[in-house]
Structure 1
Amino acid sequence: MAHSRRDFIKKTALASASLSLPTYGFTILKKPELHDEIIGHGHFKYRVHKAWGNLNPANTPVKNCHEMVMDSKGRLIMVTDEVRNNIIVYDKSGKLLTSWTYNMKSGHGLTLFKEGEEDMLFVLDNSGRIIKTTITGKIIMELPKPHDIGVYTKKMRYRPTETTVAPNGDIYVSDGYGSDWILQYNKDGEFIRKFGGKGHKDEQLNNAHGVAIDDRDPNNVTLLCTSRVQNSFKRYTLDGEYISTIFLPGAYVCRPVIDGENIYSGVCWSRMKYLERVPNSGFVTILDKNDEVVSNPGGTKPKYKGGKLQLMLQNTSLFNHCHDVCVDEDKNLYICQWNANRSYPIKLERV
């Protein structure tokens, strides 16, 4: 009898939780605890571990958990805009390994790359400070600001959001909160060119929030740039020539994260019933080797009609503004969030 009663209570609780989920409405009224829930679609489904990254806020506080990367030793390195610990380093169990700061009030971008066999980082602050560091935090170089080298006029706004590094060492900076240019430097920090810029043409960008090297085809390495307001990734040659657009209707994507044959991205906002950008929303989107969406953990199942991707929406209240996705060797995901009540990263365990 006790067993039957437990089953009844569990089924009743699940039914009640399902009633609280949105049906493409305007706001989400209740946030369920989803520790044992499975989200995602097809071969990309995940068990939610909401408390995975929780730390003691008195000792290791966060404001916004902006981005995370995994180094060659399996350490998970995260950038925040909390000046007491701009960098937080976890192991994969969620244990704090170490932390340090650069006194950045707007720590935002974090890029891992190889220099020979050595892991290196670019750490970016929206104020315009972009530093190259060792994996332990030693500063090696700082990129010049475009105003200081005559690339921008005094009236042009510069608030960079992301970096990436090409196989030849060239550095690309996306000015996503500024003038929407992609700035290209050589490995020594010398300016080469800029391309993109704010506008509505195919080759232009609107909120160039992220940038990444797409090396899935080693014979055709390209650059993927986020155009977040346009719900798109745009592809360019490494010399800045526009190639194509990946349109992701309904998804205000952050940076593209390349892992294996897939692209992952946090969706910082979702559109809803009347196509408005809804606060406290978001999900994760995953694309296959053909740049087609195959799963939306936290969002609606991707659908194609006549070869065109249909509107994608949030369908659970788990996430508030997914800002980045980090993928480990077991294809588990670690989700950083912006404007999410100082919450720590969430782990999605691949099932």
Structure 2
Amino acid sequence: MTNSRRDFIKKTALASTVLSVPSYGFTILKKPELSNQIIGHGNFKYRVHKSWGNLDPNTTPIKNCHEMVLDSKGRLIMVTDETKNNIIIYDKSGKLIKTWGHEYKSGHGLTLFNEGEEDVLFICDPNGGKVIKTTVDGKVLTELPNPKKIGVYTEKMRYKPTETAIAPNGDIYVSDGYGSDWILQFNKNGEFIRKFGGKGHKDEQLNNAHGVAIDDRDPNNITLLCTSRVHNSFKRFTLDGKYISTIYLPGAYVCRPVVDGENIYSGVCWSRMKYLERVPDSGFVTILDRNDKVVSNPGGEKPKYKGGELQLMLQNTPLFNHCHDVCVDEDKNLYVCQWNANKSYPIKLERI
């Protein structure tokens, strides 16, 4: 057999093999963890790395990836409600560094605060009615008092804290998002100061106060952003609890606001679809500019304004199930944590 004949047979066999392999929407030469898919709008577009945070579920299982923060060492710290490893710490390549925590059965909220020269964490365990302050390595430093035990709540009131925010002076704001929808303010020593909000439909009230964040984009006018998820809104308060304004995000059941640079980021757990009801597996990410205007919806429809009013926002790309949190790194890449997403690990969105 001639060399040219052998080459022809080899090339024909290779071509047959390639054609017999299903592509599933990507070429066989593509790295499986990197997608060609680009999502987002305007200056906020992202390449999807769907498998970035995948770990071995036999050794590092998760149920729900609730929230993630970036510490001063550049590590990505995530809280889950899996007691085999409540806290999972990644490096930015998605490699596992370490895990800890076995006691937070409903681990939900995770806030990082730099106290002096040390990072500390505030963990919310809603079903346990607890807010715990720890080191980044898991040493418990203190626990905030339960409002029922200090006369702030009656015994019949529910207390299921979902999130915290820490003011520059160390004051701690706790959102009782699965309980009675109050924002509870404590000083840095854990002494109760006041509560505000509460469940209702008035401007100064909240409905599913799922998240809370310090908005320090204007250092001369630091305020508090509180999620009112059923209202599809963030509500702005002064640091002493006086209502200022509402950022209405029609169609978006937003989780906590994440303030980074000039922008606010948030996971959208559900969006309103047919008949204006929230539907499962309809999440996306929403991004607001310094003027609180939505500029991009990765995984959602392009934001539209008519007469200055934001129009209904819906999922556009069926990439996400229920986006629960967004973490932003120094390069403005996003890491998306999801609830009720078939035990999926975080997805990285690489800024392009």
Aligned residues: 332
The one-letter code sitting in structure 2 at the alignment partner of 1:336 is C
State yes or no: 1:158 paired with 2:163.
no
- Residue 134 of structure 1: CA displacement? 1.1
Instruction: Specify every segment of 5 or more residues in structure 2 that has no aligned partner in the other structure, as ranges.
Output: 1-11, 13-18, 26-32
The residue aligned with 1:141 is 142
Q: Which has the larger radius of gyration?
A: 2
The residue aligned with 2:58 is 58
State yes or no: 1:346 paired with 2:344.
no
TM-score (norm 1): 0.91
The one-letter code sitting in structure 2 at the alignment partner of 1:273 is K
- Residue 330 of structure 1: CA displacement? 0.3
- Residue 102 of structure 1: CA displacement? 4.0
User: Which moved further from structure 2: 80-89 or 132-141?
Assistant: 132-141
Q: In 2, distance between residues paired with 1:50 and 1:35?
A: 7
Q: Is the 8 A contact 1:250 1:313 kept in 2?
A: yes
The residue aligned with 2:87 is 87
The residue aligned with 2:72 is 72
Q: Is the 8 A contact 2:34 2:51 kept in 1?
A: no
RMSD: 2.3
The residue aligned with 1:120 is 120
TM-score (norm 2): 0.91
The one-letter code sitting in structure 2 at the alignment partner of 1:175 is D
Q: Is the 8 A contact 1:36 1:49 kept in 2?
A: no
- Residue 13 of structure 1: CA displacement? 7.7
Q: In 2, distance between residues paired with 1:233 and 1:261?
A: 16
State yes or no: 1:260 paired with 2:272.
no
Aligned to 1:277, the other structure's residue is in SS state coil
The residue aligned with 2:48 is 48
Aligned to 1:107, the other structure's residue is in SS state coil
Q: Is the 8 A contact 1:181 1:195 kept in 2?
A: yes
Pick closer, same or farther for the CA change 1:135–1:13 going to 2, 3 Å: closer
The residue aligned with 1:181 is 182
Q: In 2, distance between residues paired with 1:341 and 1:34?
A: 20
Q: In 2, distance between residues paired with 1:270 and 1:34?
A: 26
Q: In 2, distance between residues paired with 1:273 and 1:221?
A: 38
The one-letter code sitting in structure 2 at the alignment partner of 1:171 is I
Q: Note the 1:1-351 alignment, pairs <5 A.
A: 35-126=35-126, 127-351=128-352
Q: In 2, distance between residues paired with 1:135 and 1:64?
A: 20
| Displacement over 6 Å in runs of 4+ | none
Q: Is the 8 A contact 1:34 1:318 kept in 2?
A: no
- Residue 316 of structure 1: CA displacement? 1.2
- Residue 143 of structure 1: CA displacement? 0.4
